[in-house]
Structure 1
Amino acid sequence: MTSTTTDADDAPSPGWDAISARLDQLYPGQEPKHFGTLISHMLGGPDPLDGISVWRRTDPVPHWHFVTYGLSELYAKESDDPEVSGYGLELTFRLAMEPGEVADASAEPPAWALNFLQNLARYVFQSGNVFRDGHWMTANGPIALERNTQICSMGFVTDPELAEPLATPNGSVEFLQVVGLTVEEERAAKQWRTRNLLEVLLPHMPLWVTDLGRASLLAHPAVKQQVEEGLRRDGSASGFLFTDVLGLKQVKRLLRKPITQVTVGARQVDELVTLLPLRLPFGRTLRVAGHEWQLLLEPAGTDGSNTVEWQGEGEDNAVVLRLTDATVQQLAQTLQPRQGSYVLPLLPQVEWVVEKTTIKDSTGKVVEVIG
């Protein structure tokens, strides 16, 4: 992106003007640094966002405040929903300044953050998946490439200073802030609830400013205790787990009933055995989805017994396991992220087969083997 105007600047832009007016209220008298595209997206440009504005902040900690233009309808109304503008949101991002940026009033905001927000917007445009308050997403590596940082994931939360939805001539727009998280914090968000975790972290990261230099806040005993207490009290809000390795089949046995064989990858075992006790005993299901199969784990019925049910055909192939709380605990204690076969005394009609997981980089080189 460049700090230039876009080809769309001469077009009426009621959506753009409404966003700018809201930020003028937050930063009266401050002219933001604006980074626009040479060719706007509406005219075929490669970047989904037509612009990103950035403000300098000194309080509560020195940081850059980024706000996007382009996930909502900036110009003419084109979508069918009169109540919502485009995807109904714009992204914001608060990034802690480096010492040199604090000292230099003419410093430019880091270019990687502009590309980072463009990539998030590109994901929304290409997938149609819209971020909402309480969502999380892994970055599969540092959010700032070539930086030595533990921030490799992100949560999404309503920007605390732009909490009121913005009414524009094209519909409503929410300002959704991207918050950098460590892998350990991402795991806690998945296990509990992203919004709850962010509230616990807020006293330690004012305004949810992302600091690339920080370590996991779960290293603070008080934070860790709050998360553990929340998990015991609330259970987990994560009801879906995707895995590349999921096989389901019935295995016949001589003079005995067939058993159901469930094959999973070692990489997903930790998440499976962690989430199960935080879902089923709270009356919630957990869906494990593979490329061809789905495994639906549900609390046992009123008769208090474990059952196995095969459902669907073709792409809808699924097996439903209804498990008692005791069986859930036994499964969590028995299943290991190591290659092998596991059968529970309380669930002898199911064999769990764990396969090694091989992780490769973009060139196909094996970088890790789990199990």
Structure 2
Amino acid sequence: MTLEEYKKEFTEDDAVGWLEIDKEFDRLYPDQEPKHYAPPISYMLGGEYPLDGVSIYESKKQTDHFHFVTYGFSELYYNEEKVNGEFSKWGFELTFRLKPFEGDNGNPPSWAVALLQNIAKYVFSSGNWFEEFHFMPANGPIRLETDTDITALVFVNDPEIPKKQTPHGEVTFLQITGITSAEYESIKDNPGTAEELVNKLRENNPLLITDLNRK
């Protein structure tokens, strides 16, 4: 897209990158209005949370689960200087699929929104971004004060959302998937085996939905 085309198609009021994310989720969940969590004060105005929002959809695929998506790792708003970049800001947004957990009493889990914001704090402050088959410890259970073996995360490409070219550059939808302490230890010692672990998890769980009760 040329700058001229960009100016013709969008105005300064358009959240150009945000709309690109919405397109993918409208395709997956037509007619569904997601629950949306936005921080009280935006990061641009000095708020502590880097992401401008997280939306939560309810999926019936494979097994009922929540499907989260972040807004803020990519360039969300009208910006002529960012047209045709190679990557849109960090070049990705995060997704997360979570099997409902009894401790959340059927409510969309706000702890998972906090988890995504904490990953964003790490990226924005360190300048380190993520790619497929990267992994990280959560320094404890991913849901705080919960008796679960899921204490780390591996990053995979979201199985339902392909990488896309946006007017601001490439955006990959990277899904975080919870892994157990033992799984984390095994890939920490051999980082090259992360892909192998993911393929093994996919055998029974093609969408790589996180289940806090998995042992």
TM-score, with length taken from structure 1: 0.51
Higher relative contact order (CA 8 A, sep 6+): 2
CA distance 1:68–1:27, shift in 2 (3 Å): same
Offset at residue 43 of structure 1 (A): 2.7
Q: Please, which of 54, 66, 82 is the counterpart of residue 52 of structure 1?
A: 54
Task: Tell me, yes or no, if structure 1 residue 89 matches structure 2 residue 89.
Answer: no
The match for 1:182 is 180
- Long gaps (5+) in structure 2: 1-11
Amino acid at match of 2:94: L
CA distance in 2, matches of 1:80, 1:62: 38
Matches within 5 A, 1:309-320: none
CA distance 1:44–1:126, shift in 2 (3 Å): same
Q: Which has the larger radius of gyration?
A: 1
Matches within 5 A, 1:95-244: 95-98=98-101, 107-162=106-161, 164-190=162-188, 191=190, 192-215=192-215
Amino acid at match of 1:182: T
Q: What do the CA deviations read for 1:324-356 (whole angstroms, capped 9, x no partner)?
A: xxxxxxxxxxxxxxxxxxxxxxxxxxxxxxxxx
Offset at residue 59 of structure 1 (A): 2.3
Amino acid at match of 1:98: F
Q: What do the CA deviations read for 1:196-234 (whole angstroms, capped 9, x no partner)?
A: 21011112233110100110xxxxxxxxxxxxxxxxxxx
Q: What do the CA deviations read for 1:121-164 (whole angstroms, capped 9, x no partner)?
A: 110000011010010111121111011101111100000001x2
Offset at residue 26 of structure 1 (A): 0.9
The match for 1:270 is none
The match for 1:67 is 69
TM-score, with length taken from structure 2: 0.87
Amino acid at match of 2:183: E
Offset at residue 81 of structure 1 (A): 7.4
CA distance 1:26–1:80, shift in 2 (3 Å): closer
Task: Tell me, yes or no, if structure 1 residue 32 matches structure 2 residue 34.
Answer: yes
- Long gaps (5+) in structure 1: 1-9, 216-371
CA distance 1:84–1:67, shift in 2 (3 Å): same
Paired-residue identity, %: 47
CA contact (8 A) 1:90 1:174 kept: yes
CA distance 1:79–1:125, shift in 2 (3 Å): farther
CA distance in 2, matches of 1:82, 1:160: 25
Amino acid at match of 2:176: V
Offset at residue 24 of structure 1 (A): 0.3
CA distance in 2, matches of 1:26, 1:209: 16
CA distance in 1, matches of 2:55, 2:48: 19
CA contact (8 A) 2:88 2:169 kept: yes
CA distance 1:100–1:39, shift in 2 (3 Å): closer
CA distance in 2, matches of 1:74, 1:29: 23
CA distance in 2, matches of 1:29, 1:167: 25
More strand by share: 1
CA distance in 1, matches of 2:62, 2:103: 18
